[in-house]
């Protein structure tokens, strides 16, 4: 039986993940769950409810919520990390400051992602240090954002750390693909895929018998993107997400041989996104008024009533990839999963030191990337530009370099020119004083 610590215990995603873990105890038995956060009050709101839920479903599991790193990281096998340095208040700024300059305002793409990256690197490296100090044999499953920049920081600054960087977006998209293809599960698909995090393409999708599923998918995606008859529950059901899944058809049009990641819209059609955005009310506001209020409201109710009966919190089914990943390490399952790993030739004609998103076979020694061969000039050029941004951000963080961060912003395809990049940088520095190293 395994002991885990959830770093970012106060996250709005934590209750759904706990319920998912409790639902999977037959596959991944748990002895102890600990929550760790630096915001004690926020974490207690979530923990007080999760304590009740755990006691109801699996009273044998030990549970503890703490802000003390030694207590949190001692005697654990896995760190499940989903921290958000600066919380939603800073996400709101990441989205709104760029919009004031007529630039895409998004939490992980463009200037917002760069700002968020500058905040996250230190937080994630600190978690790794706690893990290495108190449980040196543990593995960290990291899905903290912005994953591309965070992953590059771990590669560069903690090269030997036992960290697996993973994003749920390809999983969400594969769930939609499976619905489009009328399959029972995304796991019926074997995929080839390459790219960077939030910046990739599927090149081949087959069923287990080897039948090509791309033609049927293409037929749907060319008109409808990944839009399906959405159910009203689960992740990504808000209208803003539905429009993202529809917009995929315009992204797909650039290269109808592949299936794109949804986020490429921010790079191909930035002006459409800016025009559509409401600079007064962004996704962060939607999340604060929606998910955050709902989850915290329900948590308070459950804690007070001392029962989860009648709760409207939902199991986060789609987060079961976390169990798959933990199982791959714990039981050497050799499962094929998309992870963010050092390229090392997996994409033949691409920087070997880039952190890329590719299929890997995951076992007890970690991930073994599968080679995806040569990629076309269009994707390769786009990826080179974007990887340059990500590497410059990490170098800027490490060296405290204003110059490199200005270069990173200038290089981002979402930013029109160096003057706008500089104006943006100065506003972002001002907003992030508490969080960024001094530049
Ligand atoms: C996807 C991405 C995540 C991102 C999330 C935002 O799942 O892969 O990286 O954090 O969307 O969702 P939200 O509901 O917070 O806008
Ligand atoms: Mn992601």
Per residue in 119-131, pLDDT (tens digit) is 999 999 999 999 9
Arithmetic mean of pLDDT, 267-286: 97
Q: Quick one: which ligand is closest to 241's CA?
A: 1
3-state secondary structure 294-314: HHHHHHHHHHHHCCCCCCCCC
Q: Is the pLDDT of residue 141 over 90?
A: yes
Per residue in 300-347, pLDDT (tens digit) is 999 999 999 999 999 998 899 999 999 999 999 999 999 999 999 999
Asked if the interface predicted TM-score (ipTM) of this complex is over 0.95, the answer is: yes
Q: Is the pLDDT of residue 180 over 80?
A: yes
- % of the chain beyond a pLDDT of 70: 99
Give residue 419's Cα distance to chain centre: 30
| CA of residue 393 to ligand 2 center, whole Å | 18
What per-residue confidence (pLDDT) applies to 231? 65
When pLDDT is cut at 50, 70 and 90, the band that residue 240 belongs to is confident
Arithmetic mean of pLDDT, 70-78: 98
Q: Is the pLDDT of residue 67 over 80?
A: yes
CA 25/CA 29 separation, integer angstroms: 5
Q: Is the CB of 167 under 6 A from ligand 1?
A: yes
Arithmetic mean of pLDDT, 371-399: 98
Annotate 387-438 with DSSP letters as a single string: HHHHHHHHHHHHHT-HHHHHHHHHHSTTS--HHHHHHHHHHHHHHTTTTSPP
CA 81/CA 71 separation, integer angstroms: 16
Q: Is the CB of 338 under 6 A from ligand 1?
A: no
What per-residue confidence (pLDDT) applies to 366? 98
What per-residue confidence (pLDDT) applies to 249? 96
Per residue in 348-379, pLDDT (tens digit) is 999 999 999 999 999 999 999 999 999 999 99
What per-residue confidence (pLDDT) applies to 233? 62
Q: Is the CB of 169 under 6 A from ligand 1?
A: yes
What per-residue confidence (pLDDT) applies to 232? 60
| CA of residue 205 to ligand 1 center, whole Å | 24
């Amino acid at each position: 039986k395994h002991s885990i610590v959830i770093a970012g215990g106060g996250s709005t995603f934590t209750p759904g993940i706990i319920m998912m873990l409790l639902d999977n105890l037959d596959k991944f038995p748990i002895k102890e769950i600990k929550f760790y956060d630096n915001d004690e009050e926020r974490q207690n709101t979530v923990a007080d409810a999760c304590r009740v839920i755990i006691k109801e479903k699996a009273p044998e599991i030990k549970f503890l919520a703490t802000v003390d790193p030694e207590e949190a990281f001692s005697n654990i096998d896995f760190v499940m990390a989903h921290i958000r340095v600066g919380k939603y208040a800073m996400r709101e700024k990441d989205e709104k400051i760029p919009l004031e300059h007529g630039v895409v305002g998004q939490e992980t793409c463009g200037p917002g992602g760069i700002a968020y990256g500058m905040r996250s690197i230190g937080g994630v490296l600190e978690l790794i240090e706690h893990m290495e100090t108190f449980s040196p044999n543990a593995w960290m499953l990291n899905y903290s954002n912005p994953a591309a920049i965070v992953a590059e920081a771990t590669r560069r600054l903690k090269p030997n750390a036992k960290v697996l960087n993973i994003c749920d977006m390809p999983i969400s998209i594969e769930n939609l693909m499976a619905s489009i293809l009328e399959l029972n599960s995304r796991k019926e698909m074997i995929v080839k895929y390459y790219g960077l995090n939030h910046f990739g393409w599927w090149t081949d999708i087959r069923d287990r018998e080897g039948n090509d599923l791309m033609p049927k998918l293409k037929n749907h995606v060319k008109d409808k993107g990944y839009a399906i008859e959405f159910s009203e529950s689960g992740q990504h059901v808000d209208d803003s997400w539905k429009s993202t899944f529809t917009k995929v058809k315009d992204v797909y049009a650039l290269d109808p041989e592949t299936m794109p990641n949804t986020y490429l819209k921010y790079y191909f059609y930035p002006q459409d996104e800016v025009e559509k955005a409401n600079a007064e009310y962004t996704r962060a506001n939607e999340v604060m008024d929606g998910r955050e209020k709902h989850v915290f409201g329900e948590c308070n109710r459950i804690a007070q009533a001392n029962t989860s009966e009648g709760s409207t919190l939902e199991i986060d089914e789609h987060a079961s990839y976390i169990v798959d990943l933990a199982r791959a390490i714990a039981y050497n399952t050799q499962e094929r999963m998309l992870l963010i790993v050092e390229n090392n030739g997996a994409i033949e004609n691409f920087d070997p030191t880039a952190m890329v998103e590719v299929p890997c076979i995951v076992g007890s020694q970690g991930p073994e990337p599968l080679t995806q061969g040569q990629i076309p000039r269009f994707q390769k050029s786009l990826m080179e530009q974007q990887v340059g941004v990500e590497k410059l951000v990490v170098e800027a963080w490490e060296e405290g370099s204003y110059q490199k961060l200005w270069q990173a912003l200038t290089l981002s395809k979402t930013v029109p020119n160096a003057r706008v990049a500089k104006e943006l940088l100065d506003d972002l520095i001002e907003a992030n004083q508490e969080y960024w190293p001094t530049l």
